Amino acid sequence: MQTLAALGEQTLEQAENELRAAEERKPIKKRKTLSVSDAVANGVRERPDAAEFLQLLATRFENRTFLPQLKDVQRFLDRSGAPYKNLRSRSAAGHRVITALCRLSIDELRQLAARSSSPKADSDYALLAREIIGKTGTKQDSVKTAIEDSPKDFKMIVTAVREGGSSDVTGVQTLVERGEERWRSRLFSPGEFAELMLASRIFPPAEVDNLFRRVREQGQITERRVALTEDQMRFLGLRHAE
């Protein structure tokens, strides 16, 4: 320190003041936003009784079947007594949503899980599902029978797409194989994929939630011995692939 002061013809006190000022001018690192998975892990530790619902709703939040728009998130936080006016994006608000969920009772969490288990009634995909598959009366019964009777000889490969090195899934594509035949879907957004899978009834709702979580975490998953009808394949937009 004395050498530095001598070289610059400064007093020791002046040199110390300048070094201190330089330290204070260093940019402060921004605090990293808590991820949804980390928020869930914290929430489960605080509310082990609510672990199942927290994990389920977190998965649906990330695949946009629970609070799909930023305005929905804002409204939920307001009604939960945890308003936050400067939300810049839906994804950045994920940990706040989980924190708010941790304050709810088991009955309230159960109701939220039940309400978010099906696509919206006026969704384009839900309307298409009713047209192709049918959701009421004898149509629903016939679809159930067709699924049960169809041979489980399909293999389904679901792949997550990420852009620009982001950890967020921006698209999901499905490839179906049976013997030498292959069918491929177009690239769907996570929300579209979740709604289509729920409405198609290929898997039960809980399995759809788990399927998307695995796709997001692993990048690609393979489901074997899947039963599919022609209507379901057409509904998912599956076309013969070369």
| Tens digits of residue pLDDT in 133-163 | 444 334 444 444 444 455 678 999 999 988 7
| Tens digits of residue pLDDT in 189-240 | 877 787 788 778 888 877 877 888 888 889 999 999 999 888 888 888 888 8
The DSSP call for residue 19 is H
What is the C-alpha to C-alpha distance for residues 183 and 181, in angstroms, rounded to an integer? 7
pTM to 2 decimal places: 0.49
| Tens digits of residue pLDDT in 31-42 | 566 788 888 999
The DSSP call for residue 81 is T
Of the chain, the percentage scoring pLDDT greater than 90 comes to 13
**CB of 146 within 8 A of CB of 201?**
no
| Tens digits of residue pLDDT in 120-132 | 444 444 444 444 4
